[in-house]
Amino acid sequence: MSERSYQAWEFDEDLDDLVTQPGTTLATLNERFLRVTDPASPTAYLDRDVRDLAMRWTQRRDFVFVRLAELFHGVQLVHDDDYVLAAVGHLGGRTDTGGVRRFMLRHDDYLREHVFWRFFEVEGGGEISLANVDKFSNGNHSWTETILALVTDGVLDRSRILRSCLEALNRDFSAYRAGWFSRLHDALAPDAAEARANQGDLLRLLASTNSATTALAVRQAHLLHKAGTLDAEGFIRHASPAMAAPKTSALKVLAILRSLAGPGPDVDTSGLFAAAQLGMSHPHHDVQRAATSLLADFARDDLLAAGYPGLSPAVATEFGERPHPEALPGTSETVESPAGAMLAQAPEPPRWPHSMPVPGWPESEVLEHFASLLERPDDPIAFELALSWLAAHDASELLRPLARRAAKLGEGNENVVADLVLAATDPCFAFRPPTRARRARDLHGPALSWPEDGSIIPVLYKRVREVVEILQARAGHLELLATPTSTGGWIDPGTLVQRFLANDAAGAKTLQHDTVAALLRIAPEGRHLALELLQGSTLGPANTEAGSAIAYALGGPPVAIKNASWWVAAARARAPFESDNHLLAAGLDTPGQGHPAMLSLNWKSTTSSFKENGRIRNYTWWRVASVAGPHGPASAEFPSSIPSATKLFADPTALEIRQVAMAFPPSTLPLAASSIVTLNAGIDTPSPAAEDAVLEAMDIHPGRWEEPTAQILALALSAKRPEARIRATELFARVIPQRFGIEPFVAAMAHCARACILSRWATSLADAAGISASSAEATRDVLAHLLPRLEHNHHGVGKLLQVYLEESIRAGTPPASVALREWLEGFSGSSIAARHAKRLLAM
């Protein structure tokens, strides 16, 4: 009877027991390794195998296999950066309970003396880095614990570990990966003598842009200063960049500078006070006060005068300096922002987004446009032009040079343009809408049955299917009706009628979903002339009802309804915000059909408790549900209807978001409904492409803003990504109150305030106030109305009060409303919020 096979995963599991047995050596491991029968050649390692281990964390001890193959089986590998990362990720598993890492570093001299020290030189990325492996390792089975144990045992040189950590931090690794080296250095708790030995590396870290790294350097400098061994001149030379660090580090730097400026060894006081002056423009008031006090105590009036413009108005008045007045609106003068930065004041932005005409593609440039769109398929106007061109032309030969690239880009089934190119060049290609998990109910079913109804805009994929039918000769060529004539998504009524009549004259039957999309996009200007042109023409029987629906959208008379989708779209285009009696009489009476679309957002919280370091902690997250039209997914037949849902759309593509924005230009409600989950998630878990698409679409959307739209902006002002907050801040300056009034915007902010982070609101509003005089006024008005609607103990309310205080001082406008003053009087104690409230009441 043959012996049972011994598999590699079993050897991996046995390692924990093997390395803890007395007398185990590398040769012992190899003897067990030789018993592996699956795979048949466990020692056949190649460089490409190591490269794979450098990119993908298997959470197993695969690098032990690699070392045994090298040590005992003649395998020769290149010991490059990939080799080092493979060791980082796979020398120990996620649950290294037996201490395989410690065993290998104790017994494998080459691994310890040559490979291990390169861990401090190779940053890693993706799944493989010291930071990532430790983050997802269980309990005490991390690299940090391994190294601390080996230092304690004398296997690794403690002083070299400390020096290597500082050298790694000076390599400008990303904040996430650099943090691991900071934490290891702190875990070793070096004393003043050890810090002195590495003082040069430590002082260089004061210039780091990583706040955790700067904090480590400042703590060590403070330790050296207390011990009397700080290199004072070196510290002063490196101190200036550290003044941009967060509050705690900046205050410690100023404390050391103050001490060095006093009696004691001679130092370069000009450099010392120049570094201190930088603290006057720090974002935090306490740092500004400490820096100003230091310069005032040593009578450095020259530096004080130069630094006063950087002080916040609140701090400036404490030191008897009046804040500088705002520049006049509409000038390009430089003014100070509430955050202390100097901003060029721009002229007032235009009040409304201006749509631009959409030019067609010249025949000589079509291939170039398709190649560009293939690489960036989220441009909605270019996508519409591509659909239009494909529907009207035989594209197979022109697009054949792009077929191979399209096949590559279409592998993930997310690039719809790639699908269109493949459909144009391969008659057998079966179009499948993007099949992310939320959309695909049956990923293994026939390709043509894959659903698009889980998408935020299923009508888009229905329209793509219509074009695919044309490309694959199952329908005739024609001119699409729904191609926008301006960037906001509008279609000129006259152009729409001309397209429709041209198709009818050519004997082409109107496409179902192309017509639905076109009706919803009809621009308000020029409808009367377009209606006259249409009513003066004779239509073929196949297009009679479509012509009647178009005429109705343009203001014509009603006729009997057969195709409900067309008539609903026509009614919504005819009077977007009014009920339609013709549809109501036909029983089409839901919101978005006979009645205007509606949307109300309800916020609900869920709190969970967990134990951390012996303490019970609570975490609350907020979910949003919509109250709108019927329950269920979005409809391709009735795109103007917004479904009610407790679980709204998640993870939309940038193209889908931009298409939603153009689907119904009169209203922003469809965009708000389809993007609220994305912006809510962006407070904790950003989706950069989707967030940027939403904010860009809001900026150029020609439609009416309503409270749900304003909630999108409020969430974006609280986004985790600074880039998203900057976009939102600029949008705030353009929109409030020009397109949406102060009081309704405040109501929207108050509605979602519990889901937002108020300190981020404070930062965004402070930046908005620095854009122009009108946005500064809007910021003050928003805060004056918002603050009384917040609870006094709402975390972050003190930050909002600080912004309001600074802007009130800057403008010389004390709080005037009774509601606001009563709310301010409700503060008690000595909290920052209470102090700001008292100062506001005293103005």
Does residue 242 carry a pLDDT above 60? Answer: yes
Query: What is the rounded CA–CA span in Å between residue 639 and residue 516?
Result: 8
Give the mean model confidence (pLDDT) for residues 674-698. Answer: 91
pLDDT given at position 612: 65
Using a 10 angstrom Cβ sphere, with 0-12 exposed, 13-18 middle and 19 or more buried, the burial of residue 685 is exposed
Taking residues 743-756, report their average pLDDT: 95
pLDDT of 1 strictly over 60: no
pLDDT of 218 reads 95
**DSSP3 helix / strand / coil % (the chain, rounded to 5):** 55, 5, 40
- Average pLDDT rounded to a whole number, residues 500-508: 96
What pLDDT shows up at residue 649?
52
Taking the C-alpha atoms of residue 569 and residue 668, their distance in angstroms, rounded to an integer, is 16
Give the side-chain half-sphere CA count within 13 A for 749.
30
pLDDT at 289 over 50: yes
User: For 156-160, 331-335, 801-805, 826-830, which range has the lowest pLDDT when averaged over its residues?
Assistant: 331-335
Rounded Cα gap, residues 258 and 239, in angstroms:
12
Average pLDDT over residues 732-738: 94
Q: Name the pTM for this structure.
A: 0.74
Q: Does the pLDDT at position 765 exceed 80?
A: yes
Q: Both ends of the chain: CA-CA distance in Å?
A: 95
Over residues 608-612, the mean pLDDT reads: 73
Beta bridge partners of 608: 619
Nearest to 375 by CA among 343, 408, 326, 335: 408
CA distance 478 to 391: 6
| Alpha carbon distance 784, 154 (integer Å) | 63
As a whole-number percent, the residues of the chain with pLDDT over 90 amount to 69
Torsion of Cα atoms, 147 then 153 then 158 then 161, to 10°: -20
Residue 189 confidence (pLDDT): 94
Q: Which residue has the higher pLDDT, 608 or 156?
A: 156
pLDDT in tens, 381-416: 999 999 999 999 999 999 999 999 998 887 766 789
Q: Is the pLDDT of residue 223 over 90?
A: yes
pLDDT score of 546 more than 90 = yes
The secondary structure of 765-811 as a DSSP string is HHHHHTT-HHHHHHHHHHHHHHGGGS-TT-TTHHHHHHHHHHHHHHH
pLDDT reading at 110 higher than 80: yes
Query: How many other C-beta atoms can be found within 10 angstroms of the C-beta atom of residue 650?
Result: 14
Asked if 126 and 42 count as a contact pair (C-beta separation under 8 A), the reply is no
Say whether the peptide bond before residue 737 is cis (omega within 30 degrees of 0).
Answer: yes
pLDDT of residue 3: 60
Q: Which of 95-109, 344-358, 486-500, 647-661 has the highest mean pLDDT?
A: 486-500
Identify the pLDDT of residue 343. 34
